[in-house]
Structure 1
């Protein structure tokens, strides 16, 4: 191993790259993009949302989320409903098929993560997560 390969920055960058490629391939195998998955998980966690609020939760421009929602609606994973307080607006909700896909992908992702972290035992995985959260929080604010 070269000297630069022992550096923390190099290792984090390299593992980040490997993780990103692995995650992208994993989502592609489930016929999802990162944006689509973010919308599905957000709706699963927060329930039905107005389009503008949903865009904010997934950190996407409200105009750009329309294509993502169209693709998910076409697949029967989300539905647009009239807003109960303002009929001109639409609320986005997961369908039963959408809920089932989120669960299936989450279960498969847990297995994928186990494979990626196979060199670590459960206690080491937990410690790694604690340390990474602490570093992340120190750069983006918040608590670990």
Structure 2
């Protein structure tokens, strides 16, 4: 029998005194709780590198995409274009990005990483791998790959549903 939290338990089976309550075994609870713990840990990790989640997301998008317009960058990271300006201002103040006039349209601005921005993205990515290893230390390499695959499936399904009108 499955309860509303996704935990499966037969009606004849009683949890041992040491076993966690049913709600703590449910998939939804575990995802929410781990998500909260990881978000907090990730925030601290990025803070140690002088970044917020929004700043890191923009830097990674620029690293992957190359120079892009501010509006396109906002779309890439799913942030309102008005909100991206303040994040870009903070990154520009640290010389991590540069804004230039678009070659074809001087009214438009193109954003690109500076050498310092590329170096920071590389450093944080390497440290992030170590942080992920720490988080997932209880899993084998095969289980980590499987977990990532399953989470991407759930995420893709949920994201597709969100985009539907």
- The TM tier, using the shorter chain, reads over 0.9
Flag the structure with more relative contact order, 1 or 2, with Cα contacts below 8 A and sequence separation at least 6.
1
State the shift of 1:98 in Å.
0.3
**Structure 2: gaps (5+ residues):** 1-19
Match of 2:4 in 1: none
Residue 93, structure 1, aligned to residue 109, structure 2: no
Match of 2:75 in 1: 56
Tell me the TM-score normalized by structure 1. 0.94
State the shift of 1:137 in Å.
2.2
- Structure-2 separation of matches of 1:118 and 1:61: 36
Tell me the TM-score normalized by structure 2. 0.82
Pairwise CA RMSD: 1.2
Work out the number of aligned pairs and report it.
142
Match of 2:150 in 1: 131
Residue 33 of structure 1 is aligned with which of 30, 52, 70?
Answer: 52
Residue 30 of structure 2 is aligned with which of 11, 25, 32?
Answer: 11
Residue 109, structure 1, aligned to residue 132, structure 2: no
- Structure-2 separation of matches of 1:112 and 1:33: 16
- Relative to total residues, which structure has the larger helix share, 1 or 2? 1
- Structure-2 separation of matches of 1:26 and 1:2: 31
- Structure-1 separation of matches of 2:33 and 2:124: 25
Task: Work out which of the two has the higher radius of gyration on C-alpha atoms and give 1 or 2.
Answer: 2
Match of 2:9 in 1: none
